[in-house]
Structure 1
Amino acid sequence: MELKEFKNRNISEDYVVVQEDNYPKTNWDAFKQVLARSIKGELFVGMKITFGIMYRSLFKGEMATVQYPKEKLPIGPRYRAVHKLLRLLESGEERCIGCGLCEKICISNCIRMETRIDENSRKEVMQYTINMGRCIFCGYCAEVCPELAIVHGGRYENASEQRAHFSLKEDILTSADGLGMQLEFDGYGSVSPDADKKIKKTPLSY
């Protein structure tokens, strides 16, 4: 093949232009076309399908549309989205020990942490923020956490009108009331299989 033929993208000579019907040129031709198609029954066939779907939705409960946000489709068990800060099941305290590894490894530079030493000489996490507008959900923070304090949960709605709402600690921290519904993940620091027998109100060991 020569260079001239190679540059010619329209190399095939067998193209056939398909046009089912002539387009109407005047309003009268358009009206006649609509009238002809209506007489053929195309309009009524479409209305039959539409009213059939409407009947099944209203009277038989076969609604195909999900009424979001009141209804939500189930997501896969391996789905990882907005972060969650977990608590210890035994005491209800936060698992985060303020080591700062997640802040150091974050390649998007979106995690900020403020800590202090409390009256018991223990490091306490004062502020923990994640800028969801910068986060790329790589999962490095969850991988490096030695206490399984930060994980990716299943919540995927993170839209807001203000950027400040993307980084509130209260939104990702497991509430004390919802501790029984907290999902546990496998790994170092996770709950043992016989944890239900060992759960009791005990002080932290560190």
Structure 2
Amino acid sequence: MKNEQFNNRDFSNEYFLVGIEDYPTDPWGKFKRAVKRTFRGELFVGLWVVMREMIRFDIHTVQYPEEKMPIGPRYRAVHEMKRLWESDAERCIGCGLCEKICISNCIRMETKIDENSRKEVSEYTINLGRCIFCGYCAEVCPELAITHGGEYENASDQREHFVDYAAMLTPLDKMKAGTQVEFEGFGAITPHEDERVKKTPLSY
């Protein structure tokens, strides 16, 4: 490859001029231009596409909110708090890691010591107006107490909209019915996790 073809920058022979008409200045010329642009073939093609879609009966339309599209199990929506299967107690131990790692500073936690000298959560709130649903709180939780569920409808007419701890916690009637799903949301253990663990020679 030689440099002559790069030094020759005269490409005027390959250009062609587009026939652009001058814009009319008189009212009659403007009217003719509007009529000419209106009744082109593209207009009728667009009308036919709209009419064809209207008369079809296999339109795949979701009637929201009666029907909702299924979302993935790893979707990061409104948070959920899990309970222990053995005692129906809260899994949250009040370590505060979710509050510390929250980059949007939307988690507030207060703990106290109960009558058994154990730490318990007295107040736990998440401001959904500030939450960016990054999933860090679910990833850092050592007890798998907080996960992201599938409830993505969190609209409210109040600016101070937040989620209370009691609203996120699994109800006791669901625990008695055995409907708390472990693999439910971002931050939970994935299925068949035990088969993926590689045992070491010192495993016991």
| Shift in CA distance, 31/67, structure 1 to aligned 2, threshold 3 Å | farther
Identity %: 59
Structure 2 matches for 1:100-179, cutoff 5 A?
100-179=96-175
Q: 1:96 offset after TM fit, Å?
A: 1.0
Are the equivalent residues in 2 in contact too, given 1:160–1:166 (CA < 8 A)?
no
Task: Name the amino acid aligned to 1:129.
Answer: T
Where in structure 1 are there 5+ consecutive unaligned residues?
1-10, 194-206
Matches of residues 8-47 of structure 1 in structure 2 within 5 Å?
A: 18=18, 23=23, 25=25, 28-33=28-33, 35-36=35-36, 41-47=41-47
Separation in structure 2 between the aligned mates of residue 153 and residue 130 of structure 1, nearest angstrom: 14
User: 2:112 is paired with a residue of what secondary structure?
Assistant: strand
Asked if structure 1 preserves the Cα contact closer than 8 Å seen for 2:78 and 2:148, the reply is yes
**Residues 129 and 160 of structure 2 are in contact (CA less than 8 Å); yes or no, is this contact kept in structure 1?**
no
TM-score, structure 1 normalization: 0.64
SS in 2 for 1:48: helix
Tell me how far 1:148 sits from its aligned partner. Answer: 0.5
> Which residue does the alignment assign to 2:58?
61
Write the letter of the residue equivalent to 1:117.
I
Q: State how many pairs are aligned.
A: 176
User: Where does 1:89-108 land on structure 2 (aligned, <5 Å)?
Assistant: 89-108=85-104
Give the superposition deviation at 1:32: 3.4
Give the distance between the partners of 1:67 and 1:27, measured in 2 at CA. 48
Deviations 1:106-129 (A, max 9, x none): 333322112233344443322111
Q: Contact 2:98–2:107 (CA<8 Å) still a contact in 1?
A: yes
The Cα shift of 1:82 comes to 2.6
Match of 2:52 in 1: 52
User: Per the alignment, in what secondary structure is the counterpart of residue 161 of structure 2?
Assistant: helix
The answer to whether structure 1 residue 182 and structure 2 residue 185 are counterparts is no
1:164 aligned counterpart, secondary structure:
coil
Contact 2:182 2:189 in 1 (8 A): no
- Separation in 2, partners of 1:124, 1:178: 22
Q: Aligned in 2, Cα 1:27/1:109: closer, same or farther, shift over 3 Å?
A: same
User: Aligned-pair distance for 1:84?
Assistant: 1.5
Structure 1 window deviating more from structure 2 (19-28 vs 91-100): it is: 19-28
What is the alpha-carbon distance in structure 2 between the residues aligned to residue 97 and residue 162 of structure 1?
Answer: 30
- CA shift for structure 1 position 23: 4.9
SS at match of 1:93: coil
Cα distance change of structure 1 residues 34 and 146 upon mapping to structure 2, 3 Å threshold: same
Instruction: Provide the rounded CA distance (Å) in 2 between the counterparts of 1:18 and 1:82.
Output: 56
Q: 1:25 & 1:89 partners in 2: Cα distance?
A: 81
* SS in structure 2 at match of 1:161: coil
Return the alpha-carbon distance in structure 2 between the equivalents of residues 45 and 160 of structure 1: 43
Q: Give the TM-score, by structure 2 length.
A: 0.65
Equivalent in the alignment of 1:200: none
- Call closer, same or farther: CA 1:150–1:27 in 2, change over 3 Å: farther
Unaligned runs of 5+ in 2: 1-8, 196-204
